[in-house]
């Protein structure tokens, strides 16, 4: 079964998680940043994983637009959904995950989770750095990938797709 991971990333965290997922999937799998690369036809892919990150409570608009404009086709595939988000409370992470994707797609997905976060102040634009300093309370770069969740996500996706 052919798989593809389609993601958006601003500073690289979502791309790193895509790489980790890709490495754990045993099937033919590729990953594409939909902002910088052309998305191929989805026809040959049985499994599609969509990933994005949360900025100021919202996922990137390019991923939202892609999901909405391709919803019918996505609903005919095995779908995995993931986010990179650094909310401090599990309840808030779940709320962000639920609100990030169209409801119908979220309900259809066979694997969905928040898989990590990164606050890399050295890479951030001025406004992002300013907002994150206010929210986080410091300017210390922090990266955390939820390895157990990534393994579970991939395992659930792999088991569910057959």
pLDDT over 60 at 28, yes or no: yes
Cβ-based neighbours of 6, under 8 Å, separated by 6 or more: 31, 32, 34, 39, 48, 49, 50, 51, 63, 66
Domain spans of the chain, in order of start: 3-118+147-160
- The pLDDT tens digits of the residues spanning 2-27 come to 899 999 998 788 999 999 999 998 67
Instruction: Specify the CATH number for 3-118+147-160; select among 3.40.50.11780, 3.40.50.300, 3.30.1050.10, 3.40.50.360.
Output: 3.40.50.360
pLDDT over 80 at 51, yes or no: yes
pLDDT of residue 162: 46
d(CA 53, CA 18): 12
- The pLDDT tens digits of the residues spanning 55-113 come to 777 889 999 999 999 999 999 999 999 999 876 678 888 888 889 999 999 999 999 99
Closest CA to 116 of 11, 13, 8, 7: 13
d(CA 3, CA 48): 6
6 against 138, higher pLDDT: 6
pLDDT band at 161 (very low <50, low <70, confident <90, very high): very low
- Helices 13-24, 147-160: inter-axial angle, 10-degree rounding: 50
- The pLDDT tens digits of the residues spanning 97-127 come to 889 999 999 999 999 999 998 776 677 677 7
Closest CA to 66 of 93, 38, 89: 38
- Does this model's pTM top 0.75? My answer is yes
């Amino acid at each position: 079964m052919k798989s593809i991971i389609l993601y958006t990333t601003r500073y690289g965290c979502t791309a790193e998680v895509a790489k980790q997922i890709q490495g754990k999937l045993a099937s033919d799998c590729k990953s594409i940043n939909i902002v910088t690369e052309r998305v191929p036809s989805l026809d040959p892919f049985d499994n599609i994983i969509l990933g994005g990150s949360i900025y100021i409570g919202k996922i990137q608009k390019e991923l939202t637009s892609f999901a909405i404009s391709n919803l019918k086709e996505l609903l005919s595939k095995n779908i995995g959904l993931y986010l990179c988000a650094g909310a401090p409370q599990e309840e808030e992470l779940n709320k962000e995950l639920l609100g990030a994707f169209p409801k119908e797609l979220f309900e259809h997905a066979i694997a969905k989770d928040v898989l990590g976060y990164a606050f890399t102040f050295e890479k951030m634009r001025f406004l992002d750095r300013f907002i994150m300093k206010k929210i986080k309370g410091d300017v210390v770069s922090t990266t955390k990938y939820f390895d157990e969740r990534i393994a579970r996500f991939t395992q659930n996706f792999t088991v569910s797709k057959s």
